[in-house]
Amino acid sequence: MPPLAKFALLGSLLGTGLLAAAEPAPLQAWENSSITLESGLLWEVGSGTPIPYRLVPTMLSWRSAKAFGWDLSDGSVIVVRHRLTLIGTWVEHGPESHYFGVSGSPSVEWWNHSGTWSLYGGSGGGFGFTDSQAVKGALGQDFTFNWFIRGGIEHIMSGHTQLNAGIMYQHLSNGGQTKPNPGIDALGFTLGYTLKF
């Protein structure tokens, strides 16, 4: 091989190696912001209303990159992220027909040592609006607060997508602004798809 060809080959190999070394390692799921679309089915479980509500929530959530966290000795991590959610709920059984709202909460996540799946949880609340009806046991007014507890499991499907399945408890009421104020206490499951960016 002529010396010039050897020099060109060596230069291209060296350049390729330097470019590969300069590429940053891919970020873990909790080091990125993400958008999650979830839906599910919640059933009335409380004793505040005689109406057997069934709610079908659809939630579009933004999660920040890790706000803070802890590295554990087994290589797993616990992280806390910010979570803001737009809520659109179809009242499948009940006098109202819909609920639209917003909520905020921390997202507390334990990621396994390989970063491929996590257990998550969180609790928070917000406010929204429904089409209240003059029915005994129903929500007393259009302006309504929401509060929830959620938990579940999330699995990474590819570099940018994740699936999750969880359980959620949700309370809807007007905070005692009208009397009576029975509120809705609903419990059920959610399924979701996440895109990180």
DSSP annotation of 133 reads -
Average pLDDT, the chain: 89
Look at residue 14 in the predicted model and tell me its pLDDT.
53
pLDDT at 23 over 70: no
Residue 4, domain member (yes or no): no
**Greater model confidence, 15 or 161:** 161
Mean pLDDT value of segment 148-161 = 93
pLDDT at 2 over 70: no
DSSP annotation of 70 reads E
pLDDT tens-place string over residues 48-76: 899 999 999 999 999 999 999 999 999 99
Strands (E), 45-179: 54-63, 68-71, 77-93, 98-111, 117-130, 143-156, 161-173
Look at residue 142 in the predicted model and tell me its pLDDT.
94
CB neighbours (10 Å) of residue 144? 24
Contact 86, 38 (CB under 8 A): no
HSE-up (13 A, CA, CB side) for residue 182: 19
pLDDT at 181 over 80: no
Residue 112, domain member (yes or no): yes
Residue 128, domain member (yes or no): yes
Mean pLDDT value of segment 117-138 = 95
d(CA 127, CA 187) in angstroms, rounded, equals 18
Domain residues for the domain of 169 are 29-196
Residue 152, domain member (yes or no): yes
Number of structural domains (the chain) is: 1
Question: Band of the pLDDT at 28, cuts 50, 70, 90?
Answer: confident
Look at residue 24 in the predicted model and tell me its pLDDT.
62
pLDDT at 19 over 50: no
Amino acid identity, residue 40? G
* CATH number where 90 lies: 2.40.160.20
Nearest-Å Rg of the Cα atoms of the chain is: 24
Residue 174, domain member (yes or no): yes
Contact 107, 146 (CB under 8 A): no
pLDDT tens-place string over residues 82-111: 999 999 999 999 999 999 999 999 999 999
